[in-house]
Each structure stands twice: as C-alpha cells, then as structure tokens.
Amino acid sequence: MQYWNLFLGFFRIGLLGYGGGPTMIPLVHAEAVQKYSWMTDEEFTDVLAMGNALPGPIATKMAGYIGYKVKGALGAFIAIAAMVIPVLAGMILLLGLIYKLKDSGIVGGMTHGMQPVIGVMMAVMAYEFFKKSWKSWTKSRTLAWTLVSVIALMLLDLNPGLLIGIALAYAFIESTYVLERRKKKKKADSDRGFSA
C-alpha cells in the first residue's frame, strides 16, 4: 500500500505542479506532511534546505529522499518516476500544440494568472515555517536569521544556494556544539553521582 501511496502522491504533484520545482514544494508538503504523514514539518524543512543546497531540480531530489525514507531504494525510484511521468507525457503529447499556441494571448493570460497563485502558495508555506521557528526556536535567533536572509537576498543579491549553505553550516556547528555540551554535562553528572 505504501508503494501505491508514494506513486499516487508524487503523480499528483507531477500532474498539478505547474511552473517547475519551486512551485511543487507546497504540493510536496501537502502530500508528504499533511496527507500521508511520511515526515514532520521539521523534517520537511531540513529536506527542503538540503534539496536547495544540492545541485539539480529540487522536486526530484525531494521525491527521491522521501521515497527512500518511506520504502528504500524502490520507494525512491517509484516517487521520482511518478513525479516525472506526467511531465514527460504532457511535454510529448502537447509539444506541438504548445508550439502553435505559444504566441496566443489566452495562453499568456493563463500563465500570468497562475503566477499569483504560486506566489501565495509559497508565501503561506514561508509563513508556516516562520511561525514554527518562532515557537520552537528562540525569537531573537528567528528574527536575526530573517533579517540576515532579507539583507543577503535583497540588498546584497547573494545567491540563495550560498545562503542556504551558510545556514546549514551554522546549524551543523551549533548542533555539534550543543551535543558536545550535553555529553560533557551527562559525564560530569554521572561522575558526580558515582563519587557520591
């Protein structure tokens, strides 16, 4: 049943994901987190950050990771294939029609009409991530990273992949430091308990 759910979930994403990888992210979230509960919001955020940092299309990287997490290598293959099949079929079947209608005002209007919908979907997802970060992380760090991101992307025109790499490096260093502190505290507590 999990294989079938993987296929259906990612097939729907491939079928409805208009505009490429970034526009599919809210759809992947809806399927993987909300509908099938394959992962938590926190895990999804980590996968999204890692997918952004690595080269290649983000939607297929996320499909591969989620498929592998759910059902191993075969699950990864099924998820990626299910996402790619509708796109390939649509391109092959509609290529001639799209080429004929590429200068049509109706097609241009449809394309422009989809852009606000995609923008709203991305904004809602960004708000949800910010809200979770606000609750689970310290508020000062959430504000600091938001400010750093806005300055880096808007004012300094920094590549988003580079910013994500910096954030991942920071998270790795911080989590390693916290883990080491916990180990030292646990060891000191056990030594104190042993000596008493």
Number of domains in the chain: 2
Q: Choose between 114 and 193: higher pLDDT.
A: 114
In a domain, 118, yes or no: no
pLDDT computed for residue 185 by the predictor = 82
Examine the pLDDT at 119 and tell me if it is beyond 90: no
| Same-domain pairing of 4 and 88 | yes
Residue 178 tokens read as 């916290």
| Same-domain pairing of 80 and 42 | yes
Domain end marker among 78, 112, 146 = 112
- Greatest mean pLDDT among 7-21, 64-78, 156-170 lies in 64-78
pLDDT computed for residue 19 by the predictor = 65
Q: 62 is in which domain, residue-wise?
A: 1-112
Q: Cα Rg for the chain, rounded, in angstroms?
A: 21
Task: Please say whether the beta carbons of 59 and 21 come within 8 A.
Answer: yes
In a domain, 120, yes or no: no
100: left (phi over 0), alpha (psi -120 to 50) or beta: alpha
| Same-domain pairing of 149 and 70 | no
As a whole number, the mean pLDDT across the chain is 81
Examine the pLDDT at 165 and tell me if it is beyond 60: yes
